[in-house]
Chains A and B, each alone.
Chain A
Amino acid sequence: MSTLPTAARSRRATSGRASSRRWLAPHLFLLPAGLLFLAFLAIPIVYALYLSVRGMRIEDVGPFGLQTETWVGLTNYLQAITDAEFLAGFGRLLVYGVIAVPLTLGGALLFALLLDLPRVRAAQFSRTAIFIPYAVPGVIASLLWGFLCLPSTSPLNWILEQLGLDGVSVLTGGTLYPAIANIAIWSGIGFNMIIIYTSLRGIPDEIYEAARLDGAGERTIAWRIKIPLVAPALVLTGLFSLIGTLQLYGEPTTLRPMTTEISQTWVPLMKIYRDAFARDDIWLASASSVLLAVGTLILSVILLRATQRSAFGGDDRA
């Protein structure tokens, strides 16, 4: 009679100690990641938000009065969204994206499907060859293509001149966007191809066997089986490409000294960099960065929502 409550008490006590241990262990494991997240993501984001509502204003009167940092409210946001150049930057991204994204993804899918054919030759060599441009750093790729595009240093122009034809200037006029997109396509195809190809290798062989028994050719298999089954990989690479497009910076910045057509504010990130580091307006740059980040997030969510049914819907039904 007296033992029962004691046992119950002790059981409760043990379970209490155990539950506190159970509570402690996962949180200890989470601690490093949590601290890193706090230090390198959460705090910088909060700090950027803080900077975005601040600004420098002159304190004393007179030509050499000192400037001090003060609260300016939403002035920076207002300035960013009413800035014609900032908005024009998004327009340029659109043109660039319309050229670069479909060609990169289309090319990557095509190469992945070709490499996945049953009797393909030199697959390993081709895979490496297609992938290697991705290993070339963006700045070096841009310099390399820049030299190839400039009339005086381009081998193409040398050949044209030997044939008695006029040379072409690629970094001006209508060929500027394709020239920049070309760099991204050249280095992006390999990376995206690897993702799609890996996804293709994960498809069980039985499905192909069944399809062949039903009389499907390689073309039909690719169209009816492979592409639908790698749709999640396509969505993923599409998302990467979209974010990559919004973050376009390295290529136009590297090419800028070579042409008069790329301004310092050509794409949003370039304008943010200029505001922060050439014009010393870190506050406007913070506000623009917040806008760009929020915009990227919204677009990503829309893309995922729009493609969810076709890409991941199968899992739900199963």
Chain B
Amino acid sequence: MKRRTLLAALAGAPIASASLAACGTGTGEGPVTLEFWGWGATQKPLVEAWNAAHPEIQVVHTDAGGGDDSAAKLITTTRAGNSPDLALVEYPTLPSLIVAGVAADISDHVAGVEAEYGQGIWNQATFGGQTYGIPQDAGPQCFTYNRARLDELGIDLPSTWTEFADAAEQVKDADPTTRLATFAPAEFGAFAGLAQQSGATWWDGSGISWDVDIAGAESVAVAEFWGDLVDRDLVTAEPILTPEWNSKLIKGQVLSFPAGMWAPGVIAGVAADMAGDWAIAPLPQWTPGDADVAFQGGSAVVVTTDCEHPAEAAAFATWIGTAEEACRIQIREGNYPAATVGQEIALEGDPPDFMTDQEDYWEIAAQIAASTLPESTWGPNVNVASTAFEDAMSAAVTAGAPLTDALETVQEAVVADMQDDGYEVTGR
């Protein structure tokens, strides 16, 4: 807390002295200095590129921790009145930051920017016609799989979830130590995406009150599907990215990781030696012939309500989201850009290092990104839902209880929390 205040004071000092100087000489305004919070390897080079090209608006970058950590800090600093001018936020946490008064409505400063994005991606940061952020990267769900092992076992790539279940059975038959996939009970975002793909809308804030439907028929169908696979021991049910899971992945005993488009980078981090073995494919579908997928992860840059230069801040957010130079930096660092121009640039390049054997990597990525579902379905207390989900699903898996019961628990926790906060909630 103290350090943050100090940082804010340091960041504020140049502005103060610059404006004082401007007053004294009476010649225009000095350069504007903005503070920007963002995590990951991509933000620093983006900020450096912007600063080099825009001497009149200088941005100071701080890594204040990943999505969840920095969201918690943003809410605290906003209450204290010293939040940074801009921040990177994940799409699911954006509604909670809007109701907490962190993210400012920047609709007036982003005229025409909408055209730079596909509708589904733009809607991730726009609510009730008001824009609260500029999308930076996107994580449409895809099927990241160990192509070498599937070929070795003679199993076809599943294109529907029914085929996925059959493939899971064939994998187990072909090699009893190996499973096609893992049901990770703590992966809230993954399950939410699969439920959305099957047609669920967990939060709907388009009316005058919130409609919450986490345990609806579509979500229950997804839970039953995975519950059945777990019961038949066709997928393992365990946390992912643990030393245990990583070890199985490296041994070729876990053959796929259905997740956001960032999954190849994660696998590369766990098993760099397997470069060339893995590939991406469109996520299996509930109905043959469909192509719809939801997002899992991805982030936008918001301007905070504490920012005194929202126009300049919005210009920076727009540039790092949509400028060609910025998109090239994102691709180089392993992001999949949210802007259409960035996705076109990606098409021209070589596949990422970990997927060098998949010549059509970027074509498949573009094809997946083009069929993302158009609506955002996140509510103001995603944090309550995700924490309740992780515990309820983990408990269900441990006890061998139906996964659908866990969904009911989450629904109840989310509705109760929203009513406690004073929201009107319809549905149940």
Contact = CB atoms under 8 A, between A and B. Distances in A.
B109 to A, nearest CB: 19
A264 interface: yes
A2 interface: no
Interface in B206-243: 206-210, 237-239, 241-243
B422 interface: yes
Residue from A64, A146, A259 whose CB has the most chain B CB atoms within 10 Å: A64
A65 B99 contact: yes
A61 B100 contact: no
A265 B391 contact: yes
Interface residues of A, number: 31
Contact of A64 (B98, B387, B390): B98
Contact of B128 (A58, A64, A152, A280): A64
A63 B391 contact: no
A126 B244 CA distance: 34
Question: Interface SS of chain A: helix, strand, loop or mixed?
Answer: loop
Interface string A269-285: 00000100111100000
A150 interface: yes
A260 B237 contact: yes
A200 interface: no
Nearest to B72: A277
Contacts of A147: 243
Contacts of A265: 391
B208 A278 contact: no
A67 B421 contact: yes
A239 B369 CA distance: 59
Nearest to A262: B394
B387 to A, nearest CB: 5
A152 B246 CA distance: 9
B383 interface: yes
Contacts of B241: 257
Interface in B56-85: 68-69, 72, 75, 79
Given A58-B421, A67-B421, A278 B75 contact: no
A56 interface: yes
A10 to B, nearest CB: 53
Contact of B244 (A67, A258, A261, A263): A258
B205 A263 contact: no
A153 B96 CA distance: 39
A264 B239 contact: no
Contacts of B75: 280
A65 B96 CA distance: 11
Pick the 3 closest A-B CB pairs, nearest first: A63-B205, A58-B422, A152-B247
26 contacts: A58-B99, A58-B421, A58-B423, A62-B208, A63-B128, A63-B206, A63-B380, A64-B205, A66-B101, A146-B243, A150-B244, A152-B244, A152-B248, A153-B244, A153-B247, A172-B398, A257-B186, A257-B242, A260-B238, A260-B394, A260-B397, A263-B394, A265-B391, A274-B387, A280-B96, A280-B100
Interface of B: 68-69, 72, 75, 79, 95-96, 98-101, 127-128, 185-186, 205-210, 237-239, 241-244, 247-248, 380-381, 383-384, 386-387, 390-391, 394-395, 397-398, 417, 421-424
